[in-house]
Structure 1
């Protein structure tokens, strides 16, 4: 616990006060610390995105759920859709699942927009505590909700938890070796797969959505335990070997006047410096915005409309399978950094936009004969999205100077949230338009 205490003393100090340097650990201790930090960031990524993913997986149930008469605490896992537009071939809910997406992303957008302006003044530990509490509250509120409005309030809590956590933990990577970014990304991908798969599996097994959500309350506790008990004291950045060689071969986004500066000096950056750094990040921010706009327009604007009647799966079950396969693709690609690194992420943006156009045409014309073809496309969609995320933040970490890295990581994470928010705003009118077609 000594290392953990040292970590808190340094990270809680928003003024950047230095503590006395600790003796250089032995090689075995150093390797042990590397593995603890790697596992810590993997678990933080898993737990941070878990509630966000579960709420999207439950979106169809949240909007179409019914209370069984005489038992207001039970929710039918596959309710009969009484509020659907029966005149439409799409079997629509009266409200698009994009409404859940917006409740799950707009609070995150606000947090990420404000974060570069002053969130660094708030110590890390209170941020993590708020994130964990909001995550637990989201599961409880949605589970015991008796109305769509109350459920959406629970979704908002999940969004606050995920958004605050992502800004916090991505900034925190600036105090650790760059390898932890890969572990964090893999963990967020694991959250997508485990969250969607657990919700699908438990509801398929007959458990009600309410009890499924309550069974996930251990995830926020694991988030707090990973941060407070697993991470070790961060050490001065000393990248070497392969990372040093790769960094030297790259053109930095920002030419640093003081290459020896420590990452935690970024809290002293002026507004002009922050703007300069942000402009240098646009090469990566714009493609990531496009990637997430396209994939979440598909996920929350088209998934519900890609309904196949010639299959044994109900509409709700098809939606859950779409979410699970998408998250499986995200997990694989977010864990692939050691095998495949992509410099030009704009290629991924173009491919994802083509996916959107293709599936939008299919929704309009219904030319795909089998749901299994849609399954493959959705898996591919997840692979593109996960690859864009992990390669974007890896490239930013390599090409940003130490003194700017903490701010750059926090600023760049606005990309996915902005793309998702725009997609949700456009998916709502599209849903209404298509559902009113006969």
Structure 2
């Protein structure tokens, strides 16, 4: 078997680029909306990035799990290239038409990110569950890379449309990296690796872990499995998956609801008060907050090799505490911008920990049959997307009614 680090590098690249463009639009949302004179509609970009995630994941769960995995990633890759082109055209004009078209591009980019994430997470079932850290670390680093790239491009004076054009070739690297993973997955047939890896890593006492929610015994009856290795959709499958996943999904969705309220809503309202200050850190505080948030996400998504958290509800409670502090900060601005930056790193850590440990619990569970793991990932990603979607709705209300001024 080839070195773990070869797989890590390939999965890291796929995770990084899958989320990079999504982050780039999210970080640039305040600048782009201000360019069109629509500052109070800035949360619409985050709304569009996630608004169709649940329908696309349901479509994947219901129909696409039996479609060739490489074909799904290829279609997604071509669509992302098109979105880069459309975004660059929109932000290069002052015409009012550019704003709604850029929102449509954000919508398509979000759909591609969500589909790519779910397909990749599902395909990792072909490998030992510890390989998940490569992909999750890549998705976490995408935040640092995307927000850092936007800040760097602004610092050297690049125009907004140039930012989207220069990063478009990354999609080619994305597709080639996945092609390598896809071929390795097809030849990786030693299923016993799963039990070997679990024994090597060690697992907490299941009687004291969140895997209590995954206790349904495997049915002795054979279910219909497609050529992709995924069980074909049925109502019975949906019931089984939901029964196992609702609690994990609820906690994941709650953590992301709370953190997107912070990074999209409270951070926007707080940093607008710095406008006109003249300091680089205050003038770019929103983008720097996004960068700090992504540092926390990356660190925590890379933590799987060092520690694991079975009780993800603890993370949810900690994130709720962060949410309360940030609401007070948006109202009263009692911290310096540096206090906001440090607190946001911690907020990102909570989101990354919830994400990576939920994924690990699913992939490492021997209660969930291998052919149902992508469907289980679909449910968790759906709940994640629902949390973000509800957060963007909350932020639109916050920006236009609660903290309009």
1:319 alignment counterpart: 286
Q: In the aligned structure 2, how far is the partner of 1:244 from the partner of 1:113?
A: 34
Aligned alpha-carbon RMSD (Å): 2.3
Distance (Å, rounded) in 2 between the aligned partners of 1:234 and 1:253: 28
**2:387 counterpart (407, 419, 423):** 419
**Is there any run of 5+ residues in structure 2 with no aligned partner, and where?**
none
Name the stretch that deviates more: 155-164 or 242-251.
Answer: 242-251
Q: How far apart in 2 are the matches of 1:108 and 1:306?
A: 28
Decide which moves more: 266-275 or 134-143: 266-275
What is residue 40 of structure 1 aligned with on the other side? 10
Q: Please state which structure has a larger fraction of its residues in helix.
A: 2
Separation in 1 of the partners of 2:196 and 2:133?
Answer: 17
Match of 1:392 in 2: 358
Instruction: Give the aligned partner of residue 261 of structure 2.
Output: 297
Is residue 255 from structure 1 mapped to residue 217 from structure 2 by the alignment? Answer: yes
Deviation of residue 291 (structure 1)? Answer: 0.2
Is 2:380 the counterpart of 1:402?
Answer: no
**Deviation digits for residues 226-259 of structure 1, max 9, x if unmatched?**
1123541332421244513746953544311359
Deviation at 1:332, TM superposition (A): 0.6
Under a length normalisation based on structure 1, what TM-score does the superposition of the two structures give?
0.81
Task: Return 159-168 or 271-280, whichever deviates more.
Answer: 271-280
Where does residue 120 of structure 1 map in the other structure?
65
Deviation at 1:158, TM superposition (A): 1.1
Residue 205 of structure 1: which of 146, 156, 172 is its match? 156
Counterparts of 1:284 and 1:436, CA distance in 2? 35
Tell me: CA distance 1:208–1:383, structure 2 relative to 1, closer, same or farther (3 Å): same
Which residue of 1 is the match for residue 101 of structure 2? Answer: 150
> Structure 1 residue 340: deviation in Å?
1.8
Q: Counterpart of 2:40 in 1: which secondary structure?
A: coil
C-alpha contact (below 8 Å) 2:264/2:392 kept by paired residues: yes
How far apart are residue 260 of structure 1 and its match? Answer: 11
The residue aligned with 1:162 is: 113
**After alignment, is 39-48 or 283-292 more displaced?**
39-48
1:199-348 equivalent positions in 2, closer than 5 A:
199-231=150-182, 232=184, 233-238=187-192, 239-244=194-199, 246=202, 249-250=205-206, 252-258=214-220, 265-268=229-232, 270-307=234-271, 308-309=273-274, 312-313=279-280, 317-348=284-315
Look up the match of 2:342.
Answer: 376
Asked if 2 retains the 8 angstrom alpha-carbon contact of 1:36 and 1:230, the reply is no
Q: How far apart are 1:162 and its partner, in Å? A: 0.3
SS at match of 2:162: helix
1:432 matched to 2:400: yes
Aligned length: 381
TM-superposed CA distance for 1:187, in Å, is 0.8
Secondary structure of the residue that 2:303 maps to in structure 1? coil
